[in-house]
Structure 1
Amino acid sequence: MVEYRIDRRSGVATYVQIVQQTKQALRLGVLEPGDKLPTAREVVEATAINPNTVLKAYRELEREGLVEARRGLGTFVRRSLGAAPADHTALRSKLTAWVDEARKEGLEREDIGALFASVLDEKCPEGER
């Protein structure tokens, strides 16, 4: 099951963070078709956000065709994103080694994220596939 982490200082709307984290879980195979998303109540209890924010995120995911709400049952994953998780094993291993090296160099989590984002933006500009 996915666990949402909300960064109130990020400047990114809370519902967008939920959408992004759900998509990431779909890409990584953490969530698969048929899986149930946490209920709005569960997300609220874990993150202390407004239930309407969770519902807004889930509606956006539904609009994109990634999940479907089943009245009285919950919200379920309709389709995954990206390649199968097994296809990423070698890349994940290299990325893990890179993060380990960055930590040895004294970089903190935020520094590592910023460095990765910088390279990602350089190599994969927004709007490019």
Structure 2
Amino acid sequence: MAAYLQIVQQVQEALRLGILMEGDQLPTAARVARDTKLNPNTTLKAYRELEHQGLVEPRPGVGTFVSRAAAEQAKARPLADSPLRGELDDWMRRARVAGLEWGDVSALITAARAEHYP
């Protein structure tokens, strides 16, 4: 997956989990580029894609902020408090106790996702 899409996905997930809320400011594209060792154009491309999706709003001279639309979308489907989250935590704990490495867990998740979300 392209690096800019990974940034987009991380922001989308943070919104779904309630980590990011309406009005929260994203770090500057330059800071993300510096912290991740990515080309600044890569982070700018990610921010433009997030804006295109209506998830963020740039405020010239101030920064990039989570939009009201994104926050309302996230509130409609709160995942952080979902009972499924607890079940997944339990499953992950059991997988770790069973000695599965992250690669094993990732492969199982990928296979289940492909089966249920073709």
TM range (shorter): 0.7 to 0.9
Q: CA deviation at 1:119?
A: 0.6
1:49 and 2:38 matched: yes
Question: What is the aligned partner in structure 2 of residue 104 from structure 1?
Answer: 97
Task: Specify whether residues 75 and 123 from structure 1 end up closer, same or farther in structure 2 by C-alpha distance, changes over 3 A only.
Answer: same
Q: 1:62 aligns with which of 7, 28, 51?
A: 51
Instruction: Summarize the Cα distance change of 1:115–1:86 in structure 2 as closer, same or farther, 3 Å threshold.
Output: closer
1:28 and 2:17 matched: yes
Query: 2:79·2:85 contact (CA, 8 Å) conserved in 1?
Result: no
Q: What residue in structure 2 maps to residue 71 of structure 1?
A: 60
Q: CA RMSD in A?
A: 1.4
Deviation at 1:45, TM superposition (A): 2.2
CA deviation string 1:16-73 (max 9, x = no partner): 1001111111111111111111111221221111111000000001011111111011
Q: What stretches of structure 1 move > 6 A for 4+ residues in a row?
A: none
Which structure has more relative contact order (CA 8 Å, sep 6+)? It is 2
Deviations 1:53-103 (A, max 9, x none): 000000001011111111011111111344124541x21111011001111
1:58 is paired with a residue of what secondary structure? helix
For the structure 1 residues 25 and 86, does the alpha-carbon distance in structure 2 shift closer, same or farther, using more than 3 Å as the test? closer
TM-score by structure 1 length? 0.81
Aligned residues: 113
% of aligned pairs identical? 52
Task: Say whether 1:120 aligns with 2:109.
Answer: no
The secondary structure found in structure 2 opposite 1:68 is: strand
**Higher helix fraction (1 or 2):** 2
- Gaps in structure 1 of 5+ consecutive residues: 1-11
